[in-house]
Chain A
Amino acid sequence: MHYPWWHVPFLTAPMLIALVSLLHIVVSHYAVGGGLFLAVETQHAYRSGNRVYLSYLKDHAWFFILVTVVYGAITGVGIWWTIGLASPLATEALIHIFVFGWAMEYVFFLVEITAAFIFYYYWDRLDPWTHQVVAWIYAFSAWMSLVLITGITAFMLNPGSWPAHHGFWTAFFNPQFLPQVLARTGGSLLLASLYVYLHAALTVKPPQLYRLIESRSARPALLGAVLVVIGGLGWYASLPPSARAALVDASVLNVLMVLLFLCTAAVFAMLYLGPYRNPSWLSPGFAILFFASGLGAITTGEYIREAVRKPYILYNVVLGNQILPEEIAPLRRSGYLEGGTWTEAFVAARYPQVMSAGKVDAAKLLGLPESDQVHLGETLFQYHCNDCHAAAAGYSALTQLTRGWTAEMIRPVVEHPEKAHFFMPPWAGTTEEAELLTKYLVSIAPPHPPGMNYGAGSAGQ
C-alpha cells in the first residue's frame, strides 16, 4: 500500500518470485557444493598424481563456470529484480535490516568469481599448491555466501526476537538460521554430486575414470543427505506454530510434502543402491533420473519453505499483501483506500466526488453508482488480495474459490479472512470498503455448476 501493486495476470506477481527462485536455487546450491567438490577433488588428484582425473576436473570446472557464473549469477540478480517488483515493502524492510549482510555477501561473490576464473583459466600455469589454495578460496567464499543469504532468508520465516530488539545480529542469527544452513549445505553437497554424475555420465568414456568419479562423489552425497535430514528436522522444530499448522492445513502443501518425501526418498535410495553399492548401475539414464529426482526434491522443498510463511512475507513483520501488522487497526478506522499511497491517489483521480478535504470519505463510497462500487472493489482486490489470488483465472483464482457463493457468504470472509483461514491476512479496511470488495467478488463469482444431484429438496440444486 506504500507502493503500487504490480498486476500480473493469471500467475500473480509473487508467483514470479517463486518461479525465479526455483530457477536459481537449482544452480546456486551447485555453485556451493560444486566448489567444495572441485577443491577436495583437485587436492586429491594432485596428491595422488592422477593426471587423468585432474584432466576430468578441468573439464568439469569449465562446465561449472558456464552453469554457475553465468546462469547462477544472473538468476540470483533476477531474484532481486523480482522481489523489488512483487514485494516492494518487504524488500524495503529487508534491505534496511540487512544491507550490510548483502554487502558482505557481495564481497564473497567478488572473491568467488575471481577465484573461479583464476582456478580455471590458469589451470596449467599455477603451481599445484597455489591452484589448490585458489580452489579452497572459491569453496569457502561460496559457502560463506550461502551462510549470509541463509541468515536473511531464514529471518523471513522466523525472525525470533527481532521484532522486540531490532538488531542486525538478532535478525541474522534467528532460530531458523542454523537448521537452514545445515540443510542448505547438505543440499549443496548432494546436488553437486548429482551434477557430477550427470556430467560424468554424459561425457566420460574410460570405465576406470568413471568408477573413480562415482565412488569419490558418493560419500559427500551421503554426508549431504544426512545434513539435509538433520537440517530439515531442525527447520521443522523451529517453525512458528502457524507455519507448522499450514503444512497440515493447506491441501497443496500436503501434496507437495508427499512429493518432497518421495523425491528425497528416491534420491537417497538411488544414491545408496547406485553409486555407493553398485557403481556400475550409473548409466546416463540413471544419472538423468537421479538428477531429476534431486531437482524435484530441492525445488519442492524450497516452494514449501516459501509457502508456509503465509499470511506473512516476513513473519510477523510484513504481511503478504504489503501491509505492516501495526497498520491494520488504523486502516480499519481510516479506510484502506485512504491509507494506501497509491489507492488514495487513484480514488482522488477517478472518483473525486467521494473526497472530502483531500481524504477519501468512506461514507460516500456506497453512494456511488453500482458499477463504480464494483470497480473500486476491484481496486481493493488488487491491493489487498492479488498477492495470493488471481481474479478470474489463474493461481488460486477467487472465481473458483467462490463459485456459487452469494453476497451473504462472501461478506463474512471479506470482513474476517483470518478467521476463515488462519493463513489469510486480516481485513484492513472499513465496513463500507468490505462491501465494495464483496460486490466485486459477487460480480465475478461464477454460478454453482448446474446438474448436480443432492437429493430432493436440497438448497444446492
Chain B
Amino acid sequence: MIDPAQLIGPSSALGAPAPYWFLVFFKVLGFTLHTAFMHVWFAGSIVALLLGRSGGVHSQLLSARLLRRMPIVIAYGVNFGIVPLLFTQVAYYKVFYPATILMAWPWFSIFVLLTVAYYGTYLYAGGLHEGSRLTPLRHAAGWTAAILFLAIGFLFTNAFSLMANVAAWPHLWLTSSVAGAPMGTALNLGDPTLWPRWLMMFGIALTTTAAYIGIDSSLFAVETPDPYRQWGRGFAFKLYSFGVFWFACAGLAYLATWPVELRDAAFSGWRAALMLLTALAPGLPWLLLMRQSRSGERRALTWAVGIAQFGVLALNAVSRQVVQNLQLDRFVDVVSEPVSLQWSPLLSFLVLFVAGVAVIIWMLSKAVAAGRRRLAPDPAAEPR
C-alpha cells in the first residue's frame, strides 16, 4: 500500500522566483481573464449552434454574431490561459507534473483537439460572411468544434481535479504503467468531484455567455434593428437564469462529493464567507440583466453587468484556489516553498505588463474610433 504523500518529489533547489502570494495572484488573475473568454466558446459555441438551428430571425442573427466573433474570442482565451498555466507550474509543480503525466495522452491530445476545434470554428464562421453560405461541411465543422470544446473542458477538469486528488495517484499509476513508468492513459474518472465540476463549469460558462450576449446586444449591436437588441437582452436574461440554475444544481452536487473534513475546513471562518459570497455572486449580474431586459439600453447598466460577471468569475477563481489548497494541504505546503526572489526580472515584467496593456488600450481605442467613423470602402478590398 503506497502512501500517496510518498509520490511528492522534493522542492526545487532553485527556489521560487517570487513569493507565493505574487504567483498565486497572477495565477488567479490569469485564470479569471481566461475564463471570461473560454466560457464564451465552451458554452457559447453550442448555444450559438442551437440558436442557428431554430427558425427565428433574431436567434439566427444572434447565432451569427456569436460565431463570427468566436475565432477572436478563442485567440484571447488561449492567450490568457498561458498565464495561469505558467504560474501553476511554478507554484504547484510538485502535483501538476505527476498528475498530467499520469494522464499524459489525454492531456497531450488537448492541443491537437484544440487546433481542430479552432479551425472548425473558423470554417463555420467563414460561412457567415457576406457572399458565403453555410455548406454541410461548414455545419459539420461547427458542430465538431463545439463538441470538441466540451471534450477539452472535460479533459481539463480531469487534469486539475487529479492534481488535487493525490490519494488516487497510486492506484491509477500502478494499473497503467510499464515496470513503474506510467503509460499516460489514466483519467480521473473514479473521482466523485469530476462530473459535478465539469457540469458546474458548463453552468457558469452559460452565465458568462449570457452576460456577453447582454453586453453585445446593448453596446455593440448598434447596426442591428431595435427589436433584435431588445430580444437579445431578453434572451440574455433567460439564458443567465438557466445558467445560474444549472450552476446551482451542479454546485450542490459538487459540494455533496466533498469529504467531511474538506467541507468543515472550507466552511469555517473567513472561508465560509468567501464560499457564501461565491455562491450568491451570480445573483447580482442576474438582477442587472433582468433590469436591462426591462429598462432597455442603458450604458451604465451594461458596464455594470460586465463588471459584476467579472466579479463572479474572480470569486470563483479565488474559491477554487482556496479549495485546491485545502485539498493539497496534506501533501504540499505551497506557501512555505523556499523563495529566491528575482527582483529585476519581476520588475521588468511588471513594467512591461503595464506598457503592454497601455499599447493594447491605444490600439483598441483606435479600432473603436475607426469603427465609429468608418472610412470610405476600399474598391480593392474584398469582403471577407
Chain A residues proximal to chain B, CB less than 8 Å: 2-8, 13, 16, 51-52, 54-55, 58-59, 62, 66, 69-71, 73-75, 77-78, 80-82, 84-85, 88, 91-93, 95-97, 99-104, 106-111, 113-115, 117-118, 121-127, 130, 134, 137, 166, 168-169, 324, 341-346, 348-350, 375-376, 378-379, 381-383, 386
The interface residues of chain A lying within 8 Å CB-to-CB of B173 are: 4, 342
Across chains A and B, the number of contacting residue pairs, with CB separation under 8 Å, is 243
Task: Indicate whether B323 reaches chain A with its CB closer than 8 angstroms.
Answer: no
Least CB distance from B287 to A in Å reads: 33
Does B370 contact A104, Cβ atoms closer than 8 Å? no
CA distance A381 to B180 in the complex (A): 10
Is there an interface contact between B346 and A100, defined as CB atoms closer than 8 Å? yes
CB interface residues, B 78-94, toward A, < 8 Å = 78-79, 81-83, 85-87, 89-90, 93
Given pairs A99-B90, A382-B179, 12 additional interface contacts (CB within 8 A): A8-B184, A69-B75, A70-B119, A77-B111, A106-B83, A110-B79, A126-B366, A130-B370, A137-B359, A342-B173, A348-B2, A376-B179
Partner of B15, one of A7, A96, A110, A383: A96
Given A74-B78, A134-B366: A93 and B352 interface contact (C-beta under 8 Å): no
Task: List chain B residues, Cβ under 8 A from A71.
Answer: 115
Tell me whether A85 and B8 are in contact (CB under 8 A): no
Residues in B with CB closer than 8 Å to A126 are 366-367, 370, 375
Q: Indicate if B300 sits at the interface (CB-CB under 8 A).
A: no
Structural contact, B9 and A124, CB atoms closer than 8 A: no
**A376 to B202 CA separation, bound complex (whole angstroms):** 45
Q: How far is the CA of A91 from the CA of B93 in the complex (A)?
A: 10
A73: chain B residues within 8 A (beta carbon) = 75, 78-79
Residues of B close to A103: CB separation below 8 A: 26, 83, 86, 349, 353
Question: Chain B at the A interface: mostly helix, strand, loop or mixed?
Answer: helix
A78 touching B111, Cβ below 8 Å: yes
Q: How far is the CB of A401 from chain B (nearest CB, A)?
A: 19
Is A96 a contact of B371 with CB atoms below 8 Å?
A: no
Asked whether any CB of chain A lies closer than 8 Å to the CB of B142, the reply is no
Q: Given the complex, which residues of B lie within 8 Å of A8, measured CB to CB?
A: 184
Mark B9-34 against chain A: 1 for CB-CB distance below 8 A, else 0. 11011111110000000100000000
Can you list the 10 inter-chain pairs with the closest CB atoms, starting with the nearest?
A: A2-B9, A346-B180, A100-B345, A55-B380, A382-B181, A78-B111, A378-B179, A7-B181, A107-B356, A125-B370
Q: Are A3 and B180 in contact (CB under 8 A)?
A: no
A90 CA to B195 CA, complexed, in Å: 33
Instruction: Pick the contact of B378: A82, A88, A124 (CB < 8 A).
Output: A124
Q: Are B180 and A341 in contact (CB under 8 A)?
A: no
A4 touches B108 (CB 8 A): no
B363 interfacial by beta-carbon distance below 8 Å:
yes
Asked if B79 and A106 make an inter-chain contact with CB atoms under 8 angstroms apart, the answer reads yes
A66 x B363 contact (CB < 8 A): no
Chain B residue, CB-CB nearest to A8 = B184
Known: A6-B184, A7-B178, A110-B360. Contact between A84 and B170, CB under 8 A? Answer: no
B311 within 8 A of A: no
The CA of A5 and the CA of B179, in the complex, are separated in Å by 10
A110 to B344, CA, bound (A): 22
Identify the closest chain B residue to A115 (Cβ): B363
Question: Chain B's nearest CB lies how many Å from the CB of A372?
Answer: 11
Closest-CB distance, A2 to chain B (whole angstroms): 4
What would be 10 A-B contacts, judged by CB atoms less than 8 Å apart?
A6-B182, A7-B181, A7-B184, A58-B381, A77-B78, A81-B110, A99-B86, A106-B79, A106-B86, A126-B375
Look across to chain A and name the residue whose beta carbon is closest to the beta carbon of B83.
A106
Closest Cβ of chain A to B90, distance in Å, is 5
Q: Are B107 and A81 in contact (CB under 8 A)?
A: yes
B95-111 with Cβ < 8 A to chain A: 96-98, 100-102, 104, 107-108, 110-111
Using CB atoms and an 8 Å cutoff, list the residues of chain B in contact with chain A. 1-2, 6-10, 12-18, 26, 71-72, 75-76, 78-79, 81-83, 85-87, 89-90, 93, 96-98, 100-102, 104, 107-108, 110-112, 114-115, 118-119, 122, 170, 173-174, 177-184, 340, 342, 344-346, 348-349, 352-353, 356, 359-360, 363-364, 366-367, 370-371, 374-375, 377-382, 384
Task: Take A71-B115, A118-B367, A345-B7 as given contacts and tell me if A7 and B86 are in contact as well, using a CB distance cutoff of 8 Å.
Answer: no
Give the residue name and chain of the B residue nearest to A73 (CB). Answer: B78
In contact, B101 and A349 (Cβ under 8 angstroms) = no
Flag if A104 contacts B352 (CB, 8 Å): yes
Question: Looking at B97, B101, B179, which has the most chain A CB atoms within 10 Å of its CB?
Answer: B179
Complex: how many Å from CA A16 to CA B375?
Answer: 49
A100 and B17 contacting across the interface, CB-CB below 8 Å: yes
| A342 partner residues in chain B, CB cutoff 8 A | 7, 173, 180
Which residues of chain A are near B16, meaning CB under 8 Å? Answer: 96
B82 touches A107 (CB 8 A): no
Which single residue of chain A is at the shortest CB-CB distance from B111?
A78
Q: Are B6 and A344 in contact (CB under 8 A)?
A: yes
* Residue ID in chain A nearest B342 by CB atoms: A168
| Distance A109 CA – B352 CA, assembled complex (angstroms) | 12
Q: Which residues of A contact B102 (CB under 8 A)?
A: 4
CB distance from B50 to the nearest CB of A (A): 25
Knowing A6-B182, A85-B101, A114-B364 are in contact, say whether A100-B342 is a contact too (CB < 8 A): yes
Q: A4-B181, A73-B78, A96-B17 are in contact. Are A122 and B6 (CB under 8 A)?
A: no
- Whole-angstrom distance from the CB of B147 to the nearest CB of chain A? 18
**Is B111 within 8 A of A85, CB to CB?**
no
B356-A110 in contact (CB<8A): yes
Asked whether A100 lies within 8 Å of B119 as measured between CB atoms, the reply is no
Q: Is the CB of A70 within 8 A of B9?
A: no
> Which of B78, B112, B345, B359 counts the most A-chain CB atoms under 10 A from its CB?
B345
For B344, the chain A residues whose CB sits under 8 A away are 168-169
